[in-house]
């Protein structure tokens, strides 16, 4: 092989090695930044929340956060990357003595979501929000047709989301909305007004498409069977044994 070709191959291999090393270094550095930049009760960084519960974690990088003195986060909440949490229309306002944004225990807010509290917003325990959810207690008004909408004074109304709800990707909750317990909001739905307990809503504006009642169950009926709950005290080894037994029972008819 000619000498110049050997030199070219060596340079190419060296460039590839450098790229791999740089790639590993970047990923390792980013993982370190994610760990070091996460906000918890022990490592709040510059953020001084009114309360931040045990086990709660705000992933790095955080989105816009201000008015944190009037924001209270319960225990074991998970706040994804680039989530905006704000209290008040702008930073450095005195909002009084009462909290403006309250998250219960075990609340999950997916990445790129926004929770904008110009009036009080409460989110109940164990409510999960998918990515890109938008919850706001303020909306622009458009009363005056001669003024730009963005320059007109907005309207505000409290928002209440009950415990155990699920808000799908891209869902929007508007001022004045009140969601009951265990409400499911479909992806992309726009919710306003009151939603009763155990309802599924979809559309823009959102409407009830399914509801559970003690006397009749789910109406319309669910199209898939409900999952069988795991019995209390069941170990992982026992579950594995049950799965293997089920596989054997499926094979027996074929072998017969």
Q: Return the active site residues.
A: 140
Are 109 and 78 spatial neighbours (Cβ–Cβ below 8 Å)? yes
Q: Is beta strand 199-202 parallel, antiparallel or unpaired with respect to 207-213?
A: antiparallel
Q: How far is CA 15 from CA 20, 48, 147, 152, 156, in A?
A: 9, 46, 59, 58, 58
φ, ψ at 135 (rounded to 5°)? -120, 125
User: Taking every pair of C-alpha atoms in the chain, what is the biggest distance, in angstroms?
Assistant: 86
Separate counts of helices (H) and strands (E) for the chain: 2, 24
CA distance 5 to 213: 77
């Amino acid at each position: 092989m000619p000498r110049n070709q050997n030199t070219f191959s060596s340079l190419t291999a060296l460039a590839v090695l450098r790229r791999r090393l740089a790639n590993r270094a970047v990923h390792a550095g980013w993982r370190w930044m994610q760990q070091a930049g996460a906000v918890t009760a022990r490592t709040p960084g510059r953020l001084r929340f009114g309360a931040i519960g045990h086990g709660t974690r705000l992933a790095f990088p955080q989105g816009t956060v201000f008015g944190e003195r009037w924001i209270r986060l319960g225990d074991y909440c998970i706040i994804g990357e680039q989530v905006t949490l704000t209290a008040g229309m702008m930073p450095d306002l005195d909002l009084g003595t009462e909290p403006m944004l309250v998250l219960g225990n075990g609340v999950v807010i997916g990445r790129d979501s926004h929770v904008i509290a110009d009036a009080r917003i409460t989110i109940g325990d164990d409510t999960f929000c998918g990515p890109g959810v938008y919850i706001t207690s303020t909306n622009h008004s458009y009363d005056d047709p001669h003024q730009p909408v963005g320059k007109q004074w907005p309207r505000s109304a409290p928002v209440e989301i009950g415990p155990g709800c699920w808000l799908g990707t891209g869902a929007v909750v508007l001022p004045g909305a009140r969601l009951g317990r265990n409400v499911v909001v479909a992806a992309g739905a726009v919710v306003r007004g009151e939603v009763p307990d155990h309802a599924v809503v979809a559309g823009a504006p959102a409407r009830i498409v399914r509801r559970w009642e003690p006397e009749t169950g789910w109406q319309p009926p669910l199209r898939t069977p409900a999952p069988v709950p795991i019995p209390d005290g069941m170990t992982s080894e026992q579950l594995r044994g049950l799965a293997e037994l089920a596989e054997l029972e499926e094979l027996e008819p074929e072998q017969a």
